[in-house]
Amino acid sequence: MESVDMKSPCVKCSKGCGITTCNGCQQAYCIDHFNQHRQELAIEVESLDQKHDLFRNNLDRKFTEHPLLLQINQWQQDAVNTIQMIAETARTLLRKLLDQTKNEIEKSIKNLADELRSSRECDDYTEIDIKKWTGQLRMLRKTIESPPTILITENETLVMPLISVHNQASTFATENFANHTATVENSTHPSERFDQIVGKAITSEECRVITCNTWFVSYPTIYGSGRYSSGAHRLDYQIEKIGNSPIFFGITSSLESVRDNDENATSIHG
């Protein structure tokens, strides 16, 4: 706060003299209206804080209830449904075949029992009949004990789309957030390229173009490939697209180790 010319009236009431100026808006206020101005700012900050909280909650929800997660869930459900349907169809068919075999055996047993009973009642059986019945019984036992004639084959191909997740980092960056794109252009050193990257950035066109996503909290540091020990050198960069954070161009010693957050480095010039 600084005192102002006594002639400057308060911007709010024009009656009292502005005795103080707000450093932010450069307006003069009387003491009452200055306090009121401060309160208005406090309300604004409070509302910003609430908006921030809201954004934070939305962010959490957006990432935990991501539509792609729902897509994977749906795929899983569809796949499970398909497999359950195939298994149920196979079970139904197998039950039908097993019942059919069981019915045939039961029918044969009943026929044999009927024949035995009637022969005993008539008392007209001979060794030939006994031999025949023994043979029939052996055959039935063999039918039960022998391995089943039903087979399960697994050679049919199940046509089901398989899914996988890919990170299309460059597309993601281009479509959703403001980027910086810089290109090495017409320099006196045509071999100059973007070289080592600390942080998140993508090179393209044989390392002549660099794109970095300014959405990420930490800024990437991108080093050029050339090393220059003396003389004047011209390196031209064309900024094709500028994001909403500053770009810094500078030179540093190649003896300095590559590091993150070079804005704090003492030996960088630019």
Residues that bind Zn ion (CB under 5 A): 10, 12-13, 16, 22, 24-25, 30, 33
Residue placing its CB nearer to Zn ion in the complex, 16 or 199:
16
Residue placing its CB nearer to Zn ion in the complex, 23 or 146:
23
Residue placing its CB nearer to Zn ion in the complex, 29 or 219:
29
Distance CA 149, CA 133 (A): 25
At 136, list the tokens: 């029939």
Residue placing its CB nearer to Zn ion in the complex, 38 or 131:
38
Report in angstroms how near the CB of residue 16 gets to Zn ion at its nearest: 5
Report in angstroms how near the CB of residue 48 gets to Zn ion at its nearest: 15
In a 3-state reduction of DSSP, which class is residue 39? helix
Contacts of 77 (CB under 8 A, 6+ apart): none
Report in angstroms how near the CB of residue 47 gets to Zn ion at its nearest: 16
CB 15 within 8 A of CB 23: no
Residue placing its CB nearer to Zn ion in the complex, 37 or 180:
37
Neighbours of 138 (CB within 10 A): 10
Strands (DSSP E) contained in 186-254 are 194-198, 201-204, 209-213, 221-224, 236-241
Distance CA 160, CA 181 (A): 41
Q: Give CA separation, 268 vs 214, 220, 237, in Å.
A: 21, 15, 18
Residue placing its CB nearer to Zn ion in the complex, 13 or 48:
13
Distance CA 36, CA 222 (A): 48
Report in angstroms how near the CB of residue 251 gets to Zn ion at its nearest: 41
Report in angstroms how near the CB of residue 33 gets to Zn ion at its nearest: 3
